[in-house]
Amino acid sequence: MSKIGITCYPTVGGSGVIATELGKILAEKGHEIHFITSQVPFRLNRIYPNIYYHEVEVSNYPVFQHPPYDLALANKMAEVINREELDILHVHYAMPHAVLAILAKQMSERNVKIVTTLHGTDITVLAIDSSLKQMIKFGIEKSDRVTAVSHSLVKQTQKMLDTQKDMDVIYNFVDEREYFHRPNNELKGQYNIRDSEKVLIHISNFRQVKRVPDVIHAFANIHRSVPSKLLLVGDGPEYSACYQLVEDLGIGDHVRFLGKQENVSELLSISDLKLLLSEKESFGLVLLEAMACGVPCIGTNIGGIPEVIDHGETGFITELGNIEQVVYFAKQLLTDSIMHESFSERAQHFVNQKFSSSEIVKQYEELYSQVLDDE
C-alpha cells in the first residue's frame, strides 16, 4: 500500500471530482491519502479513514502585490512529503500544480514520484498563452509520469507544447454508488413539468467555451414541435447572458435555471436528453454522469467528446455550431421511444464497461506501482 499526496483545484468541476473520488476509492483500498489543497474538496464531505487533509494557508503581507498562493502550496507539499513520507504526489493540472510539485520535490529530502494528470484547460486554454507555455511544458516533462483524460488531449498536448513526453490515457470514471437511474415522479412535478413533457438538460460552469447559447437555440427549436422543458444547471460568467437570451427568445416559461446543484443524479434521472455543445472539451465528465443515469447525450465533435459518446449507439455527435443537426438528432431521440430506450440501455452498459470506477482506479494503481519501480 502506498502513501499518496493529491493536489487539485478543490472546487473546480470535473477535475476536482475525479481527484477526490480517486482519493476516496484508493483510501478504501487501503492506501493512505493526503489531500494538499486550499480548501476541503467539495466531495470530501464526511470523515474517511485513511484520508488526511492538509490546508494550504496563504499569508498576505503588504509588500506582496498578490498573496503568494503558489509558493505556499509548494512549501506545504514539501512539508507533507517529508513528514508523512509520501511515495507519490499525484497532481491534477500541469499549471501550476505539476510545476509546484517539482519545486516541492527539490525542497524535500525524498525521491517522491510526481504523477501529473492533464484535464484540458491548462493545455487547451493556457498553453495558447506563450508566457505560460514553457512553464506548462516544464511541468509535464519533469513529471515522472503523465496521464491525460483522452487520446485527443494527448495529441493536442504533444502538438501545442511540441513535446515527445510519453503520456498514458486514463479515462475519467463515475461513482456508480452516486450515479444511477433513480426514478422520482414527484421531482418533475416540483419543477412544474408535466409527465408528458420531455426534459432536456445541460450542466456546466457556463464559461464561453461551453457554448450554452447553442443549447438554448437548439431547445427553442426542438420545443416548437416536442412538448419539453430545458434544465440549465450550474453557474458561471455567461449565466446572465443566457438568461437574457431565454427571455429574448420568449421561452422563459419552458427553461428552468437551477444554478449550482448538489444532487445532479436526481436531476439526470428525470431527464431524457443531455446536450453538451462545447467548443473545447477534453473529456466531458458530465456526459458520463448522464449516461450512467440512462440519459443519451448529444455532443460536439470536439476534443474527447467523441471518445465518450458512441455516435448512433449511446447518443449523437454533431459539428460545432450546427444547431440544425442537434435539433434533427434530438427530435429523433425524443419522439421514438423504442430508439430512446435502446440508447439509454446501451449508455448505461457502456459506462459500466468502459468507465467504471473499479476499472479506472485499477489503471491508476498499476501506473503508481510502475512509477515506484522506476529508478
Q: Which chain residues interact with ligand GMT by CB under 6 A?
A: 12-15, 18, 119-121, 124, 149, 172, 205, 207, 209, 280-285
In whole angstroms, the minimum distance from the beta carbon of 174 to ligand GMT comes to 11
In whole angstroms, the minimum distance from the beta carbon of 65 to ligand GMT comes to 26
Q: Which is nearer to ligand GMT, 223 or 234 (CB)?
A: 234
In whole angstroms, the minimum distance from the beta carbon of 117 to ligand GMT comes to 8
Q: Which residues contact 130 (CB under 8 A, 6 or more apart)?
A: none
Give the residue at shortest CB distance from ligand GMT. 120
Measure the CA–CA gap between 275 and 299, rounded to whole angstroms.
6
Q: Which is nearer to ligand GMT, 226 or 291 (CB)?
A: 291
Q: Which residues contact 360 (CB under 8 A, 6 or more apart)?
A: 170, 171, 172, 173
In whole angstroms, the minimum distance from the beta carbon of 135 to ligand GMT comes to 18
Q: Which is nearer to ligand GMT, 206 or 219 (CB)?
A: 206
Q: Which is nearer to ligand GMT, 50 or 158 (CB)?
A: 158
Q: Which is nearer to ligand GMT, 10 or 120 (CB)?
A: 120
Q: Which is nearer to ligand GMT, 95 or 222 (CB)?
A: 95
The residue count of the chain comes to 375
Q: Which residues contact 324 (CB under 8 A, 6 or more apart)?
A: none
Q: Which is nearer to ligand GMT, 5 or 10 (CB)?
A: 10
Provide the pairing of β-strand 145-148 with 228-233. unpaired
In whole angstroms, the minimum distance from the beta carbon of 107 to ligand GMT comes to 26
Q: Which residues contact 340 (CB under 8 A, 6 or more apart)?
A: 272, 296, 333, 334
In whole angstroms, the minimum distance from the beta carbon of 97 to ligand GMT comes to 11
Q: Which is nearer to ligand GMT, 97 or 198 (CB)?
A: 97
In whole angstroms, the minimum distance from the beta carbon of 280 to ligand GMT comes to 5
In whole angstroms, the minimum distance from the beta carbon of 124 to ligand GMT comes to 6
In whole angstroms, the minimum distance from the beta carbon of 279 to ligand GMT comes to 9
Q: Which is nearer to ligand GMT, 13 or 296 (CB)?
A: 13
